[in-house]
Structure 1
């Protein structure tokens, strides 16, 4: 059914235009303020030129621009592979997995059992952080929630031990071979240490935060994991969730945040 016969404008055309507009808006919002913005504007300019050339039936120029766009898209995928990977993981974590019931059904079909952290483990982690803060021992602890961290665990050394404050402090002791990197906790177990985390590309993080904080923000942007950072320079404890850094005033506050994350995991 046509809306305007003289334009041959159908509902499908309207839907097509709206979808393209939304796609351009999302891409623009995603890359705004980054180096990719200039490249995106250049590609859009070439695409608009191609549409004009095609409308004028300039076949040779149209073929050249089509080839340029095809090669350019492939080059962009290779060039911005880390950014694309980050965006896809974020999309999967935030939008695809919006309902916990669907995830629970999939987990049951695959035989995946949910691993929850007990109150004793929360106390052990909090007390370890308090003692490391007093001694100004740097630490980076990642607590897995729903999203898998296997690709991070593979970068470190497997531990698979019960959570205890003494073990956590020994791992992050300055002369320990496992102190450099992140500790991964899943359920009531320390599953790995000396793991490498993705570093965030954000430029709005205050200069007072070092690489531990940037790594904490990076993994919390890609997954729903909670991260605890103990600063080696100041002894301050920070809690990171969904890319937001929150300074911890006391251990009870840390316990509440960890408990809230566990309750969120249970609700999902």
Structure 2
């Protein structure tokens, strides 16, 4: 063990510094994941109780240590029960960023894994449908995914597998339609499913946002998607992305947000190609 420096009678090594840095980073990521939700208060209370337990045990208070020790013995199980939603989000986040992700990792570049361009989505039909629905105060919730079909969420609704069109979207979200209650999922220019159930965010959101907006924010937190929301009360159109909602957007702003999301993967590939070309020129 390589000793970096001494703090009193303690010997601090480089491994200890790395250990502290990794734990600090992990706690920060956990806090960022739960920030703004009720779970962060539970997490702080749980952490405070653990710190009290360490102090009590160091002070050799046997009775209190025994009581808190029994509680800490089942702490992992209690944490899983209390933070099951946050643990699920954390695992989904890891699944999105890992290089083994079939949609974003190196497997996507294999010859037999070439994907259709995400830009094939008919954005005009989508915006026109949202505009028509908003004009008649009919609510709508549309999820656009460039990476996967979101089978977990698609299976909660009814499979459709049809091309995106203005008339079809209006028919789905019509108040008399049996498919209007829920979200539509769009992937590669096709409507995969309708009447889908989305996860609801636990963050504190403004009072004017209802369950439809909360579901859109929750879906954008859990998946790499962009969600279009049409308010039933006001007819205004909003977009949710990465846990942030952009409220009351114009048609041009909606088009720009969707196009920016859909073309992100293409831009990344173009940058990789340019970098490879520059390296060949240098050689």
Query: TM-score under structure 2 normalisation?
Result: 0.79
Deviates more, 1:65-74 or 1:51-60: 51-60
Closer, same or farther: CA 29–110 of 1 in aligned 2, 3 Å:
same
Q: How many residue pairs end up in the alignment? A: 265
1:123 Cα deviation (Å)? Answer: 1.3
Q: What is the CA–CA distance in structure 2 between the aligned matches of 1:34 and 1:252, rounded to whole Å?
A: 32
Structure 1 segments unaligned to the other structure (5+ residues): none
Q: What is the CA–CA distance in structure 1 between the aligned matches of 2:83 and 2:102, rounded to whole Å?
A: 34
Q: What is the CA–CA distance in structure 1 between the aligned matches of 2:130 and 2:86, rounded to whole Å?
A: 32
Closer, same or farther: CA 59–102 of 1 in aligned 2, 3 Å:
farther
Give the aligned partner of residue 169 of structure 1: 170
Cα-Cα RMSD? 3.2
Asked if structure 1 preserves the Cα contact closer than 8 Å seen for 2:179 and 2:195, the reply is yes
Q: What is the CA–CA distance in structure 2 between the aligned matches of 1:104 and 1:9, rounded to whole Å?
A: 38
Closer, same or farther: CA 233–6 of 1 in aligned 2, 3 Å:
closer
Q: What is the CA–CA distance in structure 1 between the aligned matches of 2:167 and 2:75, rounded to whole Å?
A: 54
Give the aligned partner of residue 253 of structure 2: 253
Q: What is the CA–CA distance in structure 2 between the aligned matches of 1:85 and 1:207, rounded to whole Å?
A: 26
Q: What is the CA–CA distance in structure 2 between the aligned matches of 1:64 and 1:120, rounded to whole Å?
A: 59
Q: What is the CA–CA distance in structure 2 between the aligned matches of 1:230 and 1:45, rounded to whole Å?
A: 42
1:31 Cα deviation (Å)? Answer: 4.3
Closer, same or farther: CA 54–110 of 1 in aligned 2, 3 Å:
farther
Asked if structure 1 preserves the Cα contact closer than 8 Å seen for 2:95 and 2:101, the reply is no
Asked if structure 2 preserves the Cα contact closer than 8 Å seen for 1:115 and 1:186, the reply is no
Closer, same or farther: CA 225–120 of 1 in aligned 2, 3 Å:
closer
Q: What is the CA–CA distance in structure 2 between the aligned matches of 1:32 and 1:119, rounded to whole Å?
A: 36
Write out aligned runs for 1:40-119 (5 A).
Answer: 40-48=43-51, 50-51=53-54, 65-93=68-96, 95-96=97-98, 103-109=104-110, 111-118=112-119
Q: What is the CA–CA distance in structure 2 between the aligned matches of 1:39 and 1:138, rounded to whole Å?
A: 34
Structure 2 segments unaligned to the other structure (5+ residues): 269-283
Closer, same or farther: CA 175–92 of 1 in aligned 2, 3 Å:
same
Asked if structure 1 preserves the Cα contact closer than 8 Å seen for 2:53 and 2:69, the reply is yes
